[in-house]
């Protein structure tokens, strides 16, 4: 669906209004969406769609997904948190998962940034070079 510039601008303003100290406030966001649905301004579906996209991108930007071949202990998880907080700041939500398909190493995803240090990827790259 094509979204007009006016709808994008209004969604961005609403998105900024839902923030409190550089963090998305869930209750403000819910209230904003509720008011938008009640008042139904012109092009409100496009505004909601773009607002949803902005919120989704913000949540992804603040979420770190850490996959490792074996489960990480508390010290290793703390070290990963410390290193990522140096790059992305302290307000990240972490998800640690075990993925045996990686064979070894780790794969980190924060927003659209992906750091892949897995053995599987190295083997795949080596295979492609032959």
Domain boundaries, the chain: 5-60, 63-129
Residues present in the chain in total: 130
Backbone angles phi, psi at 83, to 5 degrees: -65, -40
Residue 22: pLDDT band (50, 70, 90) is confident
Q: What is the mean predicted confidence (pLDDT) over 108-129?
A: 92
Per-residue pLDDT tens over the stretch 82-117 = 999 999 998 899 999 999 999 999 999 999 999 999
Structure tokens at 90: 């302290």
Per residue in 24-73, pLDDT (tens digit) is 999 999 999 999 999 999 899 999 999 999 999 999 999 999 999 999 99
Spell out the residues 6+ positions from residue 107 whose beta carbon is closer than 8 angstroms to its own: 66, 67, 68, 99, 114, 115, 116, 117, 118, 121
Burial code (b: 16+ CB inside 10 Å, e: under 16) for 84-97 equals beeeeeeebeeebe
The DSSP code for 108 is E
Mark out the alpha helices in the chain (DSSP H runs).
Answer: 5-17, 26-39, 44-61, 74-88, 119-129
User: Which pLDDT value is given to residue 1?
Assistant: 65
Alpha-carbon gap, residue 33 to 17, rounded angstroms? 12
């Amino acid at each position: 669906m094509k979204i007009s510039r006016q709808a994008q601008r209004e969604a961005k303003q609403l998105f900024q209004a839902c923030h409190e100290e550089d963090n998305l406030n869930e209750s403000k966001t819910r209230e904003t969406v509720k008011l938008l649905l009640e008042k139904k301004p012109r092009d409100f579906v496009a505004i909601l769609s773009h607002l949803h996209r902005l919120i989704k991108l913000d949540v992804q930007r603040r979420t770190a997904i850490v996959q490792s071949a074996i489960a990480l202990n508390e010290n290793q998880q703390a070290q990963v948190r410390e290193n990522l907080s140096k790059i992305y700041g302290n307000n990240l939500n972490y998800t640690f998962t075990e993925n045996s398909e990686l064979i070894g190493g780790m794969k980190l995803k924060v927003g659209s940034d992906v750091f892949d240090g897995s053995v599987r990827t190295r083997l795949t790259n080596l295979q492609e070079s032959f």
